[in-house]
Structure 1
Amino acid sequence: MNLTDLALPWMHDAPFIEQWHIDKTHIDHYQHVNNVAYLTQLEKLAWAHSNALGLHFSDYQSLNRGMVIKRHELNYHLPTYLGDSLYCATWIVHCDSKLTLKRQFQFICPKRMKTVFDAVTTFVCVSLDTGAPKRMPAQFTEAYGKACIHVEQPQ
């Protein structure tokens, strides 16, 4: 089954989706998924989506540019547990084709048909060798700009 064909309550159309199987490495002392595990999954999902758009870290290196995190907004709605499987989605909801883009994330537990986690991450384009903000190269604006679903985010 194609993950995008799932009839789940996504916040936007056309999500990029991966499945996440919760194992014991994700569990904390409260016996649910640790906050850091969600953050790690955000990073993996964002990279998988960028790779699917045709951008790989080797491209970042050859262009001397990277999209680095400026801000995370994380919302934990319901706990998840050992053995759960989550469907994790991301969308690019803003790309100014200059310096910044925003990704939205939503993780759904299909057993409950509920969102257990969502987030918005703001990225800034920087020079890899100096860390200073730098304009996005054409490859970034083409890939990320085309993928952007143009959702207005509250300021």
Structure 2
Amino acid sequence: MEWALPDPFVIDIHVNEASIDAYQHVNNSEYLRWVEQISWAHSEALGLSIERYRELDRAMAVHRHELDYLAPAFDGDELQLATWIVECDGRFTLTRRFQLKRLEDGKTLLNARTRFACIALSSGRPKRLPEEYQAIYGAAQVTE
């Protein structure tokens, strides 16, 4: 599969009937759910699980989502969703990019971007990225 950026973290998605809406294609809320799913999977693969987030009293809370829906997906489609960390300011924010493709024809169905802000889980207030986050997410960052 050819991706917009090098070395993506990728998950496979099989579209099933539960994802289909009244228009007989994947509901737009599913794309957002998949973006969240791959974000967690990538963080865990990098060594930052939800348990580690809790130990550090930190969370990366969504500040902004941008989703560009380019083409529909349908029941039975086999998809791949890729993500990259494209920004980590080392202080408070992290930005991911996403690209969703259909395996059958290689067509890009979605391009997305999410900006996260670091907060303390205990208070919900903005907090600096722990050094561990800076090191791990910073090392995974790719250039757009």
TM-score, with length taken from structure 1? 0.91
Output the amino acid matched with 1:113: G
How far residue 121 of structure 1 moved from its aligned partner, in angstroms, is 0.1
Output the amino acid matched with 1:33: V
**Pick aligned residue for 1:35 from 17, 28, 36:** 28
Listed as ranges, the matches of 1:5-154 within 5 Å are: 8-151=1-144
Contact 1:22 1:85 in 2 (8 A): yes
Contact 1:18 1:87 in 2 (8 A): yes
Q: Deviations over 1:73-130 (max 9, x none)?
A: 0000000100001011000000001100100000011212110011000000001011
Q: Matches of 1:81 and 1:89 in 2, distance apart?
A: 19
Q: Matches of 2:143 and 2:60 in 1, distance apart?
A: 19
Q: Matches of 2:77 and 2:53 in 1, distance apart?
A: 34
Alignment gaps of 5+ in structure 2? none
Q: Deviations over 1:40-73 (max 9, x none)?
A: 1111100000000000001110100000000000
How far residue 150 of structure 1 moved from its aligned partner, in angstroms, is 3.1
TM-score, with length taken from structure 2? 0.98
- Structure 1 segments, 4+ long, off by >4 Å, are none
Identical aligned residues as a percent: 44
Alignment gaps of 5+ in structure 1? 1-7
Q: Matches of 2:53 and 2:106 in 1, distance apart?
A: 37
Q: For this pair of structures, how many residues does the alignment match?
A: 144
Measured on the aligned residues, the alpha-carbon RMSD in Å equals 0.7
Contact 1:9 1:114 in 2 (8 A): no
Q: Matches of 1:99 and 1:93 in 2, distance apart?
A: 14
Q: Matches of 2:12 and 2:39 in 1, distance apart?
A: 13
Contact 1:22 1:82 in 2 (8 A): yes
Output the amino acid matched with 1:86: L
Q: Matches of 1:26 and 1:112 in 2, distance apart?
A: 20
